[in-house]
């Protein structure tokens, strides 16, 4: 799924994956000039870590604004790869959207 997301998003957004040891720090280290950060929270992320990442999306979006948008995908274990890619494409294309989480089930 990572390769499909990277291909779909291309250079329009920086991808950060929630299974990273410290995804919040990874989000903060993305250059502000990127314009868009897409945080992908996979089903393999432990429940507590998942809850913390989801809770961090809005405050991080406020912190990064106005130069960088942040959105997240909350991906279920049985999510269809095409649905995940479509959701990512939507969030990256929605230029007035920041701080949002889309659940892909």
Mean pLDDT of the chain: 95
User: What is the spatial distance between Cα 47 and Cα 70, in angstroms, rounded to a whole number?
Assistant: 21
User: What is the spatial distance between Cα 84 and Cα 76, in angstroms, rounded to a whole number?
Assistant: 10
pLDDT value at residue 34: 87
The candidate with the shortest Cα–Cα distance to 69, out of 53, 82, 58, is 58
How many CB atoms are located within 10 Å of the residue 91 CB? 23
Q: Model confidence over 22-64: pLDDT tens digits?
A: 999 999 999 988 899 999 999 999 999 999 999 999 999 999 9
Could you give the number of structural domains in the chain? Answer: 1
pTM of the model: 0.95
Domain hosting 78: range is: 2-104
Bridge partners (DSSP) listed for residue 71: 38, 100
* Residue 55: CATH number of its domain: 3.40.50.720
């Amino acid at each position: 799924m990572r390769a499909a997301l990277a291909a779909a998003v291309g250079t329009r957004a920086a991808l950060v994956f929630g299974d990273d040891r410290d995804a919040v720090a990874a989000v903060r280290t993305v250059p502000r000039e990127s314009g868009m950060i897409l945080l992908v929270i996979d089903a393999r992320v432990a429940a507590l870590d998942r809850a913390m990442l989801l809770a961090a999306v809005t405050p991080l979006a406020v912190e990064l604004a106005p130069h960088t948008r942040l959105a997240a995908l909350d991906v279920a274990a049985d999510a269809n790869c095409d649905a995940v890619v479509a959701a990512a494409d939507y969030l990256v294309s929605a230029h007035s959207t920041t701080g949002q989480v889309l659940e892909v089930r």
